[in-house]
């Protein structure tokens, strides 16, 4: 690899990055539409104290004209947690950034990575990579409206515009506008010809480009996203980058988070903790929400992968899948699922 030219950003002030929040960017759980709602985030926080969590993407229109309380609702237990916004109108982004701070989030993130047709029609998501000046204007307005870190999550290219030079032309004006933190999904986004699901897998990973961006702009913080499935892999990437972000792997195998604090943050080993301990810690949240009228299935759908690969895991998933959606389903459904699973787990451990 040829030596990279280090590009100083004249408006960059290292003091603007708060050292007290920096460590929490080492491991992040990606914002995932329909997945990272407040119940999922509460559950994930029981597994890791330090992993940085993100809301689902919320559009500026939904916040300004819709049910603001519903979109901003979160439990303080979830911290550190960031609000991800979708939008492109500077004034609207500024208003929503101020709402994020008032609601108690500790970061506001702009989505410049989603490739869906619906998102493109609203002119936000990955299509905004083609207009870095517009993104920069939005970032600048957000920075003026809040004291929170304003971050951007993006792809490394769009369609045929798949080069280091294209990504640099995006990063530089956005960084000058005030964004010091970029989350790079290490795949190009194809806005035509691929579905959002296909965009998660078909475009090849190019992690080397993300590494080159960190070398080129060492004063900026870069978190890498895309295809990371293990903590060993995460640790290797953290030798060169400021953070890693996992999405589907955490959702489908949440127990992965149980080792994050020890392996990546140097906390004492907590390996005596069990999956059953996590479920029991989740029960008070479930009870409170049931009393408020939240359907059980809205919460239990997030925990189906907790026993993945563990004896009894299929019984756990089957019992919840067959019973949690029933009208009037109560806490006993989750308690029974745990009872069906724990004997099998204990027998395996004794053996």
| Tokens 């986004």 sit on residue | 189
Cβ–Cβ under 8 Å, residues 9 and 178:
no
**Average pLDDT of the chain to the nearest whole number:** 90
Positive or negative: CA dihedral 99, 105, 110, 111: negative
Mean pLDDT of 86-103: 97
pLDDT at 122: 58
pLDDT at 167: 98
Residues 108, 100: Cα–Cα separation, whole Å: 7
Find the farthest-apart pair of alpha carbons in the chain and give their distance in angstroms, rounded. Answer: 63
Structure-token pair, residue 348: 């395996």
Give the Å distances, CA to CA, from 286 to 78, 129, 189, 326: 15, 40, 38, 16
Residue 3 has pLDDT above 70, yes or no: no
Mean pLDDT of 296-320: 95
Active site residues: 114
Residue 23: burial class (beta carbons within 10 Å; 0-12, 13-18, 19+): middle
Name beta bridge partners: 29: 246
Number of H helices, E strands in the chain: 16, 8
Give the Å distances, CA to CA, from 347 to 310, 319, 351: 11, 20, 6
Residue 264 has pLDDT above 50, yes or no: yes
pLDDT at 80: 95
Residue 21 has pLDDT above 60, yes or no: no
Mean pLDDT of 304-323: 95
pLDDT at 120: 55
Mean pLDDT of 204-232: 97
Say which range, 15-29, 151-165, 179-193, 201-215, has the weakest mean pLDDT: 15-29
Say which range, 101-110, 111-120, 180-189, has the weakest mean pLDDT: 111-120
Say which range, 43-47, 117-121, 172-176, 180-184, has the weakest mean pLDDT: 117-121
| Tokens 């998933």 sit on residue | 317
Residue 88: which pLDDT band, with cuts at 50, 70 and 90? very high
pLDDT at 344: 52
pLDDT at 13: 32
Going by C-alpha positions, the residue among 103, 107, 95 that lies closest to residue 29 is 107
Residues 334, 301: Cα–Cα separation, whole Å: 11
pLDDT at 8: 44
Residue 174 has pLDDT above 80, yes or no: yes
Residue 60 has pLDDT above 50, yes or no: yes
Residues 206, 190: Cα–Cα separation, whole Å: 14
Residues 86, 92: Cα–Cα separation, whole Å: 10
Cα 266–chain centre separation: 21
């Amino acid at each position: 690899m040829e030596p990279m030219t280090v590009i100083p950003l004249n408006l960059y002030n290292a003091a603007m990055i708060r050292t007290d929040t920096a460590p929490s960017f080492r491991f992040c759980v990606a914002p995932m539409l329909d997945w990272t709602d407040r119940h999922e985030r509460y559950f994930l926080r029981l597994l890791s104290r330090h992993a940085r969590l993100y809301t689902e993407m919320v559009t500026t229109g939904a916040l300004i004209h819709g049910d603001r309380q519903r979109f901003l609702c979160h439990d303080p237990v979830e911290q550190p947690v960031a609000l991800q916004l979708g939008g492109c109108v500077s004034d609207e982004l500024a208003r929503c950034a101020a709402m994020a701070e008032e609601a108690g989030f500790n970061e506001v993130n702009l989505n410049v990575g989603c490739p869906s047709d619906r998102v493109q029609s609203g002119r936000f998501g990955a299509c905004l990579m083609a207009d870095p000046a517009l993104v920069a204007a939005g970032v600048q307005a957000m920075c003026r409206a809040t004291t929170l870190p304003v971050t951007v999550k993006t792809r490394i290219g769009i369609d045929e515009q798949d080069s280091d030079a294209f990504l640099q032309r995006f990063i530089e004006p956005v960084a000058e506008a005030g964004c010091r933190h970029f989350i790079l999904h290490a795949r190009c986004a194809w806005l035509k010809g691929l579905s959002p699901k296909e965009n998660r897998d078909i475009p090849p990973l190019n992690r080397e480009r993300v590494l080159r961006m960190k070398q080129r702009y060492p004063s900026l913080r870069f978190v890498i996203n895309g295809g990371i499935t293990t903590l060993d892999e995460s640790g290797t990437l953290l030798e060169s980058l400021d953070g890693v972000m996992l999405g589907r792997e955490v959702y489908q195998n949440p127990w992965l988070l149980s080792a994050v604090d020890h392996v990546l943050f140097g906390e004492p080993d907590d390996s005596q903790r069990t999956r059953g301990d996590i479920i029991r810690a989740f029960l008070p949240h479930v009870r409170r929400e049931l009393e408020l009228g939240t359907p059980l299935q809205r919460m239990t759908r997030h925990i189906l992968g907790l026993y993945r690969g563990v004896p009894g895991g299929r019984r756990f998933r089957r019992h919840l899948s067959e019973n949690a959606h029933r009208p009037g389903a109560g806490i006993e459904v989750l308690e029974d699922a745990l009872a069906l699973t724990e004997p099998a787990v204990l027998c395996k451990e004794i053996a």
